[in-house]
Amino acid sequence: MPSKILVIDDEVNLALLLCKVLTRHAYDVTTAHSGESAKDLLNKQPFDLVLCDFRLGDINGYDLLKHIKTHYPAIKVIVITGYPDVKQAVELIKSGADNYLSKPFSTDELLASIDQAIVNAVNDQSVATFKKPENNPSNVFVQGTSAAAIRLLQQIELIAPTNYSVILEGESGTGKECAARYIHEQSLRADKPFLAVDCGAILPELAASEFFGHVKGAYTGADTARTGYFEMANGGTLFLDEITNLPYDVQAALLRTVQERRVRRIGSAEEIAVDVRIIVATNRNLRHIVDKGDFREDLYHRFNEFNINLAPLRERKDDILSLANYFLAITSQELQRGIRNFSAGVIDCLLAYSWPGNVRQLKNAIRRAALLTDGDSVELQSLPREIVTACLIPEISEEITEKNIKAHKVMHQFAKHQPTAEFREILSVLRQADFNKTQTAAMLNINRKTLYNKLKRACS
């Protein structure tokens, strides 16, 4: 059953936009445009999470947050504001908010914040008894066939049954969290909690409370006790994403817990034993960060019992189609569409593109393309324009950029209209020539300049 989210914003258009985005990602979304209407909805039906704007016409964020946490303590709350302020963020978190987003924010930031809050909700319930959550198909570890994918699988199968700590390194979007989940699922801890934490989203002032918890009355605003990440993940795996974002003083506190395997909640004298496997991830070279003095060397050595590097997608060309087909299958099922495959042009484009955003970018591109597809096959016009442009006419794009022509004009004609017969012929020869412009011009018996002019006309 999808998680139920209540979006509260007095800007109707923004509320509708958030509703559309979250619905596309398989959430059950309800909207409210005032504090009073939100209270009415909360009284009538259950919600897993509330996403609310801090400034509403009839109530402010603190009062609404207090109402929700008083009457519905199990509901997670994420506050959105257009006035970023660290002090305000700290006060909101102390008052019970589970996260805080400042406008403008990206879809990835929004989804990551929601995913984290929902995972925390599951783990809050798991302190007494853990119920393993169903896998989100988008987070499943997809085994590839490339040499890099096979090597990764071999490393995971080697390390998973042990209790070793693991460092996962790789560019953003390479699937480090998916790999961490798979290590957990293949371990002896598979029936215990897996808790993923984005270290970059933790405010330094609240880090100790987040990791170790606090007792009621530990500080002003601590009206209820809070369980820390280590206790939540007890018996299972704690995945610390973007570990290099942790402040240096927080690293020191973390080292003590990792060494002694005991935590002490803020405001308490009691120490609690914890048995947690640590997996950390970073998109930077952690050894280099240590050498620069920005990460504790002793903590690095505690984590570095085994190191795995995830190759970027451009080095895993053999995996692109298997990943794309997987994402298409789950998205088609999610949208209840009968989309079965990709056209030849789309396949060529997927294989030719460099994918700077790696697997995450590929997943998002396929999800978008599936949403725009009416038939049973994804066509080129459904792919994001920047991908099609970069694949088919990268040199033209560079030339036009140099002449300061806006990038939105550099799009294929078929993004708005059906391609001409001449353009279809050029595209066919481009594919045969593996998108080599010189070879394509020779095969068409024209010079490169003429080829460029024809492509420009098709993109105008």
Q: Which CATH class is domain 140-311?
A: alpha beta
Scanning the structure block, which residue is given the tokens 């398989």? 26
**Residues above pLDDT 70, as percent of the chain:** 83
Collapsing DSSP to helix, strand or coil, 170 comes out as: strand
Task: Look at phi and psi of residue 412 and say left if phi exceeds 0, alpha if psi is from -120 to 50, else beta.
Answer: beta
Instruction: Answer whether 51's CB lies under 8 Å from 111's CB.
Output: no
Mean pLDDT of all residues in 236-265 = 90
Mean pLDDT of all residues in 358-376 = 91
Tokens of 322: 């298997």
Q: Give the residue with greater pLDDT, 336 vs 403.
A: 336
Length, in residues, of the chain? 460
Among residues 409, 356, 415, which one has the least CA distance to residue 381?
415
Contacts of 193 (CB under 8 A, 6+ apart): 122, 123, 126, 130, 232, 233, 234, 235, 236, 237
pTM for this predicted structure: 0.62
CATH architecture of 4-126: 3-Layer(aba) Sandwich (3.40)
Mean pLDDT of all residues in 61-78 = 84
pLDDT at 134 > cutoff 50: no
Mean confidence (pLDDT) of the chain: 81
Among residues 122, 192, 119, 187, which one has the least CA distance to residue 159?
187
What does the pLDDT look like over 299-339, one tens digit per residue?
999 999 999 999 999 999 989 988 998 899 888 888 888 89
Tokens of 350: 């997927």
Model confidence at 86, pLDDT cuts 50, 70, 90, reads: low
pLDDT of residue 406: 33
Euclidean distance between the first and the last CA atom of the chain, given in angstroms as a whole number: 46
pLDDT at 398 > cutoff 60: no
What does the pLDDT look like over 201-246, one tens digit per residue?
888 778 888 898 888 877 766 677 888 999 999 999 999 999 998 8
Q: What is the DSSP string of 264-299?
A: E-BT---EEE---EEEEEESS-HHHHHHTTSS-HHH
Amino acid at 31: T
Which residues make beta-bridge pairs with 213?
A: 227
Q: What is the DSSP string of 92-121?
A: HHHTT-SEEEESS--HHHHHHHHHHHHHHH
Question: How big, in percent rounded to 5, are the helix, strand and coil portions of the chain?
Answer: 50, 15, 35
Mean pLDDT of all residues in 140-148 = 80
Q: Give the residue with greater pLDDT, 243 vs 54.
A: 243
Collapsing DSSP to helix, strand or coil, 342 comes out as: strand
CA distance 2 to 23: 10
Domain range list for the chain: 4-126, 140-311, 317-459
Fold for the domain defined by 317-459: Helicase, Ruva Protein; domain 3 (1.10.8)
pLDDT of residue 84: 59
Which residues make beta-bridge pairs with 281?
A: 168
Torsion of CA 181, 186, 191, 197, to 10 degrees: -20
Among residues 247, 255, 250, which one has the least CA distance to residue 297?
255
Q: Is 140-311 the same fold as 4-126?
A: yes
Give the angle subtended at the CA of 245 by the CAs of 242 and 250, to the nearest 5°: 115
Q: How many CB atoms lie within 10 A of CB 372?
A: 12
DSSP H helices in 278-384: 286-291, 297-303, 320-335, 344-352, 358-371
Contacts of 121 (CB under 8 A, 6+ apart): 48, 49, 74, 76
The dihedral through the CA atoms of 253, 256, 261, 267 has a sign that is negative
